[in-house]
Amino acid sequence: MAVINPWAALAHGGAGLAELREAVVGEAVRTVRYVALRGEGWPEGHREDRAHEVDVAVELGMESGSALVLSWAMDGVNEGMAIELRNPGDTSASLPGDPVDVSDHVDWEGFLGVSIAGIGIAWHIPNDGCPEMPWAYNFRFANESNVVIALGEADGAGFTYMPDALLVIFDKALAAAYKIPASATSSCG
């Protein structure tokens, strides 16, 4: 199991992120699960049209049997995205919620079975005195499509930063338009 701790990723291109890229690029996504709050399903009132709101975590199951898990993480005023690559056979860390298989959702249809070609990262400084943390990951696929997983929630037709919620954005224009004050880039990285 490889845990990429956002609190240790203090600079762009840290060794942990390089290892993550090396392990994931070339892998194809086989399944997708969202972790919802206990007792709630998904979508259960969450946005689900070209951008999905997710309460706790997103798990991308790879064809190799490994799984990439992205979740929000907070430690005092430090806010960022935790990312963990689980090897085949690893037991899953307990996340506070219930996993919901969304692999058959129409928005994931064009991504399943397609290799990940690259990963971009959007960084932010969440509060004064905090180190730079990842707040969004942009997964580029071999078919030239993108999925962005970022901190935030739906706000009308757009999005707003929220450190304890996730967005999965399937539309490139929506992802490019999503910017937060603490970051120099959009959620595309």
Per-residue pLDDT tens listing for the chain (189 residues):
444 444 444 334 455 777 888 889 999 999 999 998 888 877 876 777 789 999 999 999 999 999 999 999 887 778 888 888 888 877 555 677 889 999 999 999 999 999 999 999 999 988 888 888 899 999 999 999 999 999 999 887 789 999 999 999 999 999 999 999 999 999 998
Predicted pLDDT of residue 78: 82
Residues 51, 134, 138: CA angle, nearest 5 degrees: 40
Nearest CA-CA partner of 55 in 67, 74, 42, 69: 42
CA pseudo-torsion sign 27, 32, 36, 39: negative
Task: Encode 131-151: b = buried (16+ Cβ within 10 Å), e = exposed.
Answer: ebbbbbbbbbbeeeebbbbbb
Q: Where are the domains of the chain?
A: 2-177
pTM for this predicted structure: 0.90
Return d(Cα 158, Cα 160) in angstroms, integer: 7
